[in-house]
Structure 1
Amino acid sequence: MMKFKIKHKLFLAIITANIFIVLGIYILSSLSFSSSFREYLDANREKELAPMVDAVAREYQNQQDWHWLRERGRSTWRTLIETYYVPRNSNPDRAQFRPQAANGERPPRPRPDNRPLIRQENRPVDRRAPQPGLAHDAPRPRPPVIFIADKDHRLLLGREDKLDTVNWIAITLENQTVGYLGYHRTTHITSQLDQLFVDKLTTNLIWIVIFVIIISALIALIQSRFFVKPIIKLSNAAHKISKGEFTTRITVSSDDEIGELCQDFNRLATSLDRNLKARQQWIADISHELRTPVAILQGELEALQDGIRDYSAESVNSLYQEVKRLAFLINDLHELSMSDIGALSYRFENVDLIEILDQVIESKKESIDSAGFSIEQICEQDELILKGDEHRLNQLFLNLLNNSLAYSDPNGMVKVAVKTEGPNVIISWSDTAPGVTEEQLTKLFDRLYRTESSRNRNSGGSGIGLSIAKNIVEAHNGTITARPSSLDGVRFDITLPLK
């Protein structure tokens, strides 16, 4: 079974729409032409009957009544047809019969240019003999059925049961309507010449429709391939991405929705490539971080085994400290991984931010005093209520304080300023020297990153605290940034929504 691809569906959609449009135009054109052509034939019929209308008007003027029409009946109709009806495409200077005058002569019907309309003879033209200028086998046109009614539409000539399809022409004298002459409007074509014209036009229209459909099919084929081409490129690139080739990119050549999709795909590929490299670096950093305390433990245990070091309380305490650092690192890694995947449980409720900050400072008072640090708090108000998780906000401030204590010089200072700004609360956390370079500022929130070149674990932390702090802030729909502080250290600006 054939599998329909997008280009096939697009081609069928375009060609189907074009076919319906072309067929609709053909049907409407045919109906419009048929109606207009019948109106054209009726207009020509009225021109053919115009001399007859004039003749009837003159006769009415002479008789001052319609009694002559009632008396003569059918013979009047034959006389009018044979005398004054000049069919379309016939010789206008010929008539088939001439009217009978009172003196027995057959006078010519008057013309505007005073030329005689019919020949001056006393006998009718033999209708069986071919007329000059006409082919011998040309069919003689069928005379029309006419109706005459007075000004009140009372029928004087014709059958009343055939009035449904009659068009009426007003018979006027001195701008006064004295009666009406009627004829059957055209419902179907009877002339061979007219039918030949209609058939020819219909045939040409059908060929035009076929030609337009073929051209539409070719255009639809080209358009479907053109529109599907970037999708095929996108599909091939996605296939490569699924194989782990995250360096794959697509050339964006348009500004439409497909172009935007290609741009989004490139951003996705860039993000995947960056995440892959970060994961690889993350694994390498974890391996390095875990290898160091494990190597120390192994070395000290081997020293005890080989008798290089004596088993004593000091050696046991040294082993305990390394195990403690290892457990601390593993715990930080676990919390970081949980915050990355959103597994940290958050219970949002109304909490007092100032109170949480005071609790953190009070809990670290001994460490602050032993390091010779001073804490300066600048708060606009004694109480600041916001929607947040008390435990996680406590962890946020604790990580920032531990970072300042671990990386600032002894006898330093931490300055915390809290203020509200519109619907947000702004927390500025600044510490003293040493500061960091612009390049280091961009990496402070990277996991396992330490600014100290020696990576001293006795004085520094694990390099994970700020990463966890960033995740906590973002979980509260806030932002955290780092920049140099006025105290020659680092300043962290935290923005949290109040609600």
Structure 2
Amino acid sequence: MVRSLYTRVVLIFLASVIGGTLISFLLAAWIFEDKLNENLQIPMIYFGQDIARMYGTFPADEASAYVSGMSQLKMYNLRFFDETGEYESFGEPNEYQPATVTKEQINLILNGDVVQVNRGVVSTTLVGLPFTSNGETKAMFIDQRTPTSNTLAIQFLLNFSIYTLVTGSLVILVATKFLVNPIKKLTDATRHIAGGNFNIRLNIKQKGELGALAQSFEEMTRDLQQVEQLRRDFVSNVSHEVQSPLTSITGYAKALKQMNLPDRERDRYLDIIISEAERMSKMSDGLLKLSLLESQSQQLQFSTFSLDEQIRRVIVALQPQWSARSISFELQLKPIQMEADYDLLNQVWTNILGNSIKFSNEGGAVTVSIRQDSRSVIVRITDTGIGISPEDQRRIFERFFKADRSHSRQNGGSGMGLAIVKQIVMLHSGDIRAESESGKGTSIIITLPLKPPTGQANIT
């Protein structure tokens, strides 16, 4: 079995062209066979009729002498048969083998019939005619010695077809190589990707389907490279985030083994161990939650509710945090009814408002506003806290990322909150972005559709 695509394309082309050419030639020859043979026989019949008239007009000796010098004998062989089968030949060269004439054909002509015999498609033709010489009826047979113009034309077309096939085969060998090379590059590239090498450049300049395939392949390679980098970063971040609390737990657990440790110190060490264990638990819960959201195994439970009322409830629930730091709230909440997953959105507002409180200065303020257009609602939450640098703004929605690690550790942050928020917003076909300036606070803008996208279940 031929496995090479290049060889397959070449063989299919050759088989198609050669087979198609032969079938077309044979079909055309079969359709026009009678017409072509008729065109070959007409000049032979006219020539024979002229010979017959000559023998009917002049004495046999004079007519034979004249016929012997005719230029047409270069093209035709002429034979005269009598009743006994004896014949007289004109213009027959030694190397020429004339067509065979049977006794039945001679008798048919002597009885006044005309015989026309084809020895192939547009090939040598035999024509027999009766004529009278010196009162005796004889059979005249004319057969073709040299190819006619029709035969030469057929031979030219046949040769032309052969040359075309040869030339076309050479061209298709080169053209197929040009066609198959990009596919070979793609095959080699897939082997590199399977081996873990994503740094691939195909350099395929073709347009059309192959060019689009190559471009899509390179885009896929870049995406895979990013996924692989994210995987490595994830493993590195998890290892780092887990290692820190484990180190603390191990160190303070060993310190608790001291026999003469004061009760006050023992309680402090236990509080630290509990705090680090809780931080690990939160991080584990956050990873599990984010994994469920990213795999979309958690189905959205849509219901209709008042968005402004939901945000107010979240602010009230967070009162112990913001009142302890004398943080005030400015609310610009218009009554808005929307369809969404109530519990997931409740987590969005809890995480964002919690961050706003956590990173605001003592006595600061948090502003929450809602704006609505024909299809969506825009929630803007702005604090007057420490702000986020431009470099960090691009990464704040990544898992484990902490723009201010000192605040995050002090408040038990795991770096998972905003990653979860972004995934929830995306599941609702919404958008989230941040606007911030170091030392001047941060604004988080969330855009959500008022109704679930078409195709998502609406469960009340």
State the TM-score, normalized to the length of structure 1.
Answer: 0.68
Q: Matched residue of 1:457: which SS?
A: helix
Q: 1:324 aligns with which of 278, 281, 296?
A: 278
Verify the 8 A CA contact 1:86 1:95 in the aligned structure 2: yes
Residue of 71, 75, 78 corresponding to 1:139: 78
SS of equivalent residue, structure 1 residue 18: helix
Q: 1:272 to 1:95 in 2, by over 3 A?
A: same
Shift of 1:431: 2.0
- 1:412 and 1:401 map into 2 onto residues whose CA distance is 13
Counterpart residue number, 2:296: 342
Q: What CA distance in whole angstroms lies between the structure 2 residues aligned with 1:385 and 1:20?
A: 69
Aligned twin of 1:361: 315
- 8 Å CA contact 2:332–2:368 kept in 1: the answer is yes
The 5 Å alignment of 1:322-471 reads 322-380=276-334, 382-386=335-339, 388-452=340-404, 454=406, 456-459=408-411, 461-471=413-423
CA contact (8 A) 2:279 2:412 kept: no
Amino acid at match of 1:393: L
- 1:211-242 CA distance string (max 9 Å, x none): 32233332332232221111111111111111
Measured at CA, do residues 323 and 124 of structure 1 come closer, stay the same or move farther in structure 2, by a change above 3 Å?
closer
1:231 aligns with 2:183: yes
Q: Alpha-carbon deviation of 1:3?
A: 4.2
Alignment RMSD (CA, Å): 3.6
Paired AA for residue 425 in structure 2: V
Q: State the partner residue of 1:150.
A: none
Q: 1 CA distance for matches of 2:10 and 2:353?
A: 66
Residue identity over aligned pairs, in percent, reads 24
Residue 366 of structure 1: how far off its partner (Å):
2.2
* Paired residues of 1:403 and 1:461 also in contact (CA < 8 A): no
Tell me, what secondary structure is at the counterpart of 1:483? strand
Q: Could you tell me which residue of structure 1 aligns to residue 8 of structure 2?
A: 9
Q: TM-score, normalised by structure 2?
A: 0.74
1:190-269 to 2 correspondences below 5 Å: 190=126, 192-193=143-144, 196-197=147-148, 198-269=150-221
Aligned residue identity for 2:315 = I
- Residues 251 and 304 of structure 1: is their aligned pair in 2 closer, same or farther, counting only changes over 3 Å? same
Provide the secondary structure at the position in 2 that maps to 1:447.
coil
**Contact 2:306–2:337 (8 Å) recurs in 1:** yes
Is the CA contact (8 Å cut-off) linking 1:407 and 1:460 kept in structure 2? no
In the TM superposition, what are the counterparts of 1:246-325 in structure 2 within 5 Å?
Answer: 246-307=198-259, 309-312=261-264, 313-325=267-279
Query: For structure 2, which runs of at least 5 residues remain unmatched after alignment?
Result: 82-113, 119-124, 128-142, 453-460
Residues 29-84 of structure 1, C-alpha deviations (whole Å, 9 max, x = no match) = 546764664675698699x69xxxxxxxxxxxxxxxxxxxxxxxxxxxxxxx9xxx
Aligned equivalents of 2:17, 2:80: Cα separation in 1: 43
Checking the alignment, whether the CA contact within 8 Å between 2:387 and 2:438 is kept in structure 1 is no
- Aligned equivalents of 1:280 and 1:218: distance in 2? 51
Residues 2 and 8 of structure 2 are in contact (CA less than 8 Å); yes or no, is this contact kept in structure 1? no
**SS of corresponding position for 1:131:** helix
In the TM superposition, what are the counterparts of 1:118-197 in structure 2 within 5 Å?
A: 127-131=63-67, 133-134=69-70, 135=73, 138-139=77-78, 189-190=125-126, 192-193=143-144, 196-197=147-148
Q: CA deviation at 1:126?
A: 5.1
CA distance in 1, matches of 2:60, 2:268: 152
Instruction: Give the 3-state SS of the residue equivalent to 2:235 in structure 1.
Output: helix
The one-letter code matched in structure 2 to 1:467 is A
Task: Quote the residue 1:153 is aligned against.
Answer: none
Distance change >3 Å, CA 403–CA 42, structure 1 → 2: farther
Kindly state the Cα deviation for residue 4 of structure 1 after the two structures are TM-superposed: 2.2
Partners in 1 of 2:161 and 2:153 — Cα distance? 12
Alignment-mate amino acid for residue 14 of structure 1: F
Q: Once the 2 structures are TM-superposed, how far is the Cα of residue 457 of structure 1 from its aligned partner?
A: 0.8
- Corresponding letter in the other structure for 2:175: Q
Q: Deviations over 1:185-232 (max 9, x none)?
A: x99654633983255444443333333223333233223222111111
State how far apart, in whole Å, the 2-side matches of 1:209 and 1:352 are. Answer: 81
Partner SS for 1:305: coil
Query: Is the alpha carbon distance of 1:458 and 1:95 closer, same or farther for their aligned partners in structure 2, counting shifts above 3 Å?
Result: same
Q: CA deviation at 1:124?
A: 7.6
The 8 Å contact of residues 347 and 389 in structure 1, kept in 2 or not, is answered as yes
Indicate the structure (1 or 2) with the bigger Cα radius of gyration: 1
In the alignment, the residues of structure 2 paired with residue 5 and residue 20 of structure 1 have an alpha-carbon distance, to the nearest angstrom, of 22
Query: Partner amino acid for 1:196?
Result: P
Tell which deviates more after alignment, 413-422 or 26-35. 26-35
SS at match of 2:406: coil
1:462 counterpart letter in structure 2: S
